[in-house]
Amino acid sequence: MKHSRRHFLTNVCPSVAFAFFGVSFLAACSTDDSNSGPTNNDGPGGDSGYTINGNIVTVDLANANFSDLGSPGDYTNIVTAGVLLLRLSATEIAAYTNCCPHQGTKNLWSYSGGNWTCGDHGNSFNTDGTNVASCDSGATSGSLKSYPTDLTGDTLIITKS
């Protein structure tokens, strides 16, 4: 009887423990999604205010998660969609990759004076589209890749390419 219990405990219990706790252990070891600026990181669909369908991100700007995009210069980071949004005017919102060219950080962005600054190492990237630096390329300057946007009413469509 003792042999059967030991066999059960050593062979079955680790699998059961991982099944119950594995996801939280993995999540605890994942990268930090905190951000020094505004972030909409609730995940696509539902109450998050955006959906992802292939390379198309559709944002409902009437959703409370995007209330911080009301005035020119306001920005937000949709971490899970991979985009930084910047309000340029009442009728235009620009979208950029949120992947830092230096080391791939996606969640530590701030914006000021025409530049995105990654809070990981303090590198700044402009929005003028010249010398576009690729994600995780080691670049410490240049421009972030921008994506085409279409704003109709409260719906913003971003085409990631």
**76: nearest Cα among 46, 132, 36, 113:** 36
pLDDT value for 38: 64
Q: Are 143 and 133 in contact (CB under 8 A)?
A: yes
Average model confidence (pLDDT) across the chain: 81
Residue 12 has pLDDT above 70, yes or no: no
pLDDT single digits (tens) 124-158:
999 998 899 999 999 999 999 999 999 999 999 99
What's the average model confidence in pLDDT over 104-131?
94
**Minimum mean pLDDT among 43-57, 96-110, 137-151: which range?**
43-57
What's the average model confidence in pLDDT over 35-64?
81
Q: What is the CATH number of domain 33-159?
A: 2.102.10.10
Question: Model's pTM, two decimal places?
Answer: 0.74
Position of tokens 């410490």?
140
Residue 26 has pLDDT above 60, yes or no: no
Residues of the chain with CATH 2.102.10.10: 33-159
CA torsion 137→128→126→157, rounded to 10°? -80
pLDDT value for 8: 45
Band (pLDDT 50/70/90 cuts) for residue 33 is very low
Name the more confident of 12 and 23.
12
